[in-house]
Amino acid sequence: MKLLRYGPKGKEKPGLVDGNGKIRDLSSIVPDIAGEAISPKGLARLRKIKPESLPLVRGNPRIGACIANPQKFIAIGLNYSDHAAESGLTVPPEPILFTKHVSCISGPNDVVTLPPKSKKSDWEVELGVIIGTKAKNIKKKDAMAHVAGYCTVNDLSEREFQIERSGQWTKGKSYDTFGPIGPWLVTTDEIKDPQKLKMWLDLNGERVQDGSTATMVYGVAHIVAYLSEFFTLMPGDIITTGTPPGVGMGMKPPRYLKPGDTMRIGIEGLGEQHQAVVRDK
């Protein structure tokens, strides 16, 4: 299934995408795409519904983040061997963890706002993993049973804030709109192998990232089990798993986002995002 949330910001409704690519309203079935709705039991219930029996959503509504009210937005750094190489950094012996504060989450096609003082804002197409059931101290072999589905993420990053201003990476990763999620939460049964997905990012029509989840150092199952050693993963938590080569920081000379830029981001089977860039006031 492809689950989504649509409507004005803060007033999104749950929906699903039917076989013809049309949005169907799920608000009479579940209150939102969160909690029990994305548990194994909840997803099994949704799979029994015939999409054509649900109300058709007409027009072209705004698409919101595909998961509602996550507790945590966790990120993995330097998790692609080819991206580590372009950054001139060594692949870490264990996953690098940082957080993106949930206030940065936005819809997949919402405007991206650069911080007023930003000079080095960057793009990163990433595979997002959405947790469906509580996970604490689990084993790798059991990890995928705790995953509800996947989504496309743009892990926007202000490199000066992240790297040059000391402290944690979080300060360069959490500005408002720096976490576009979606368009869909695609359930695991639709993705045969999350480690074989093509991914790309176009900047102003130019393909700058063209990679595959096949070059991830630590795969989805490893990451989910690993994180569960340090804190409990809860339903709706988002894990964004790293990016392939082609980020602005790795270019020679470096190239960063500016007002007026546009981005098109996609992952095979998970849908596309389209964003315009503006400067925040």
- 162 and 42 within one domain: no
* pLDDT surpasses 80 at 87: no
Q: Is residue 63 part of a domain?
A: no
Q: Is residue 59 part of a domain?
A: no
* pLDDT surpasses 90 at 85: no
Among the residue ranges 91-95, 139-143, 234-238, the one predicted with the least confidence is 91-95
Over range 47-51, report the average pLDDT: 96
Res. 164 pLDDT band, cuts 50 70 90: confident
Q: Is residue 111 part of a domain?
A: yes
pLDDT at residue 107, as a whole number: 98
Give the span between the Cα atoms of 157 and 87, in whole angstroms.
14
pLDDT at residue 167, as a whole number: 76
* pLDDT surpasses 80 at 59: yes
Res. 142 pLDDT band, cuts 50 70 90: very high
Q: Is residue 67 part of a domain?
A: no
Q: Is residue 152 part of a domain?
A: yes
* pLDDT surpasses 80 at 83: no
Q: Which residue has better confidence, 89 or 247?
A: 247
- 104 and 181 within one domain: yes
Give the span between the Cα atoms of 195 and 75, in whole angstroms.
17
- 234 and 184 within one domain: yes
The mean pLDDT of the chain is: 95
pLDDT at residue 98, as a whole number: 95
- 237 and 98 within one domain: yes
CATH code: domain of residue 184: 3.90.850.10
**Cβ pair 82, 243 in contact under 8 A:** no
Q: Is residue 58 part of a domain?
A: no
Among the residue ranges 76-90, 110-124, 174-188, 199-213, the one predicted with the least confidence is 76-90
- 127 and 11 within one domain: no
pLDDT at residue 281, as a whole number: 85
- 115 and 38 within one domain: no
Cβ neighbours for 25, distance < 8 A, ≥ 6 positions apart: 13, 14, 15, 54, 55, 56, 57
pLDDT at residue 45, as a whole number: 97
- 28 and 145 within one domain: no
| pLDDT tens per residue, range 178-222 | 999 999 999 999 999 999 999 999 999 999 999 999 999 999 999
- 99 and 6 within one domain: no
- 132 and 259 within one domain: yes
Cβ neighbours for 86, distance < 8 A, ≥ 6 positions apart: 245, 246, 247, 250
C-alpha distances in Å from residue 263, one per residue of 13, 197, 266: 26, 19, 10
**Cβ pair 50, 64 in contact under 8 A:** no
Count of domains for the chain: 2
pLDDT at residue 89, as a whole number: 72
Res. 244 pLDDT band, cuts 50 70 90: very high
| Phi-psi group of 49: left, alpha or beta (phi > 0 → left; psi -120 to 50 → alpha; rest → beta) | beta
* pLDDT surpasses 80 at 82: no
Q: Is residue 270 part of a domain?
A: yes
Among the residue ranges 82-96, 133-147, 157-171, 197-211, the one predicted with the least confidence is 82-96
Q: Is residue 44 part of a domain?
A: yes
pLDDT at residue 103, as a whole number: 98
Give the span between the Cα atoms of 8 and 119, in whole angstroms.
30
pLDDT at residue 52, as a whole number: 94
Residue range(s) defining the domain that contains residue 9: 2-53
C-alpha distances in Å from residue 248, one per residue of 91, 98, 208: 19, 20, 8
- 109 and 7 within one domain: no
Bridge partners of 158, per DSSP, are 121
Give the span between the Cα atoms of 98 and 200, in whole angstroms.
23
pLDDT at residue 34, as a whole number: 97
* pLDDT surpasses 80 at 241: yes
pLDDT at residue 203, as a whole number: 98
